[in-house]
């Protein structure tokens, strides 16, 4: 089934599974839109932090989530993320922001406030939706659902490499611990926990190159009739 007539591919998975890079590369190769839902949660986390809101106030957090104005500017390379017009791309990618996002993402009121906004990303000719609950909650009717994962060691190594390349200094053992904590919180929260949708295809990318992963997903797209070549 399409989402309002628009084909959607949901790509879910834990931190470091490579879903960000894979989703982007797939969206570019298909010339489809991209929803980086983690960036939405990270933007809300940053706003909550800047406004000094307490995590114990779900109504205030949900109101902040509704007020958060995020723009994805494809004009910059790599793509820039603007929060109320301010370029926050680098700030959003820090581990602190990811951990904070994971905390506010466990609050049902915040998830509810972002649900409709995420659905609005489904526009022609198609959408690649990257997140934790794209296939289970936000786009349950998506034609293709992929649950991308990799071994914990490989995920920590990939994330470490990414951060070092961005000039962010972090130790591998600290990062492994942080990832384990985030996995635990994301998978065990009451609302929209991280788990494969029942009809998701699970893809373990350990030992695969990004190109091999994209190629595999393109085969599934063809099988689902979403891609003709």
- When CB distances to ligand DC are compared, the closest residue is 38
- Can you say how many angstroms the Cα of residue 220 is from the centroid of all Cα atoms in its chain? 20
- Alpha-carbon distance of 79 to 18, in angstroms, equals 17
Q: Total residues contacting ligand DC (rule CB under 6 A)? A: 14
Choose, by CB under 6 A, the member of 26, 68, 70, 132 that binds ligand DC. 132
Q: Is 102 in the site for ligand DC (CB under 6 A)?
A: yes
Only one of the segments 33-41, 72-80, 164-172, 195-203 lies at the binding site for ligand DC (rule: CB under 6 A); that segment is 33-41
Tokens of 48: 């909550």
Q: Is 37 in the site for ligand DC (CB under 6 A)?
A: yes
Task: Give the pairing of strands 201-204 and 33-36.
Answer: unpaired
- Alpha-carbon distance of 127 to 125, in angstroms, equals 7
- Alpha-carbon distance of 102 to 189, in angstroms, equals 10
**Could you tell me the smallest distance in angstroms from the CB atom of residue 225 to ligand DC?**
26
Q: Which of residues 168-227 bind ligand DC (CB under 6 A)?
A: 182, 186
Burial class (CB in 10 A: 0-12, 13-18, 19+), 54: exposed
Mask for 43-82, x = binds ligand DC (CB under 6 A): ----------------------------------------
Q: Is 145 in the site for ligand DC (CB under 6 A)?
A: no
**Could you tell me the smallest distance in angstroms from the CB atom of residue 186 to ligand DC?**
5
Phi, psi for residue 73 in degrees, rounded to 5 = -100, 105
**Could you tell me the smallest distance in angstroms from the CB atom of residue 222 to ligand DC?**
26
Q: Beta-strand (E) ranges in 52-161? A: 70-73, 80-83, 86-87, 127-131, 144-149
Residues that bind ligand DC (CB under 6 A): 15, 37-38, 41-42, 98, 101-102, 105, 131-133, 182, 186
């Amino acid at each position: 089934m399409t989402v309002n007539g628009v084909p959607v591919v949901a790509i879910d998975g834990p931190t470091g599974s490579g879903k960000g890079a894979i989703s982007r590369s797939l969206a570019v190769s298909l010339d489809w839109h991209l929803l980086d839902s983690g960036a939405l949660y990270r933007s809300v986390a940053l706003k909550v932090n800047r406004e000094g809101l307490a995590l114990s106030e779900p109504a205030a957090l949900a109101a902040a989530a509704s007020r958060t104005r995020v723009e994805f500017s494809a004009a910059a390379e790599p793509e820039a993320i603007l929060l109320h017009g301010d370029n926050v791309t680098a700030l959003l990618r820090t581990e602190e922001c990811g951990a904070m996002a994971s905390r506010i993402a466990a609050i049902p009121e915040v998830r509810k406030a972002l649900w409709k906004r995420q659905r609005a990303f489904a526009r022609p000719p198609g959408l690649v939706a990257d997140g934790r609950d794209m296939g289970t909650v936000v786009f349950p009717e998506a034609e293709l659902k992929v649950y991308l994962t990799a071994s914990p060691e490989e995920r920590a190594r990939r994330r470490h490499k990414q951060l070092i390349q961005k000039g962010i200094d972090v130790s591998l053992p600290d990062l492994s611990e942080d990832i384990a904590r985030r996995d635990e919180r994301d998978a065990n929260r009451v609302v929209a926990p991280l788990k494969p949708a029942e009809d998701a295809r699970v893809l373990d990318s350990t030992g695969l190159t990004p190109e091999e992963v994209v190629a595999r997903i393109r085969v599934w797209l063809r099988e689902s009739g979403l891609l003709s070549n």
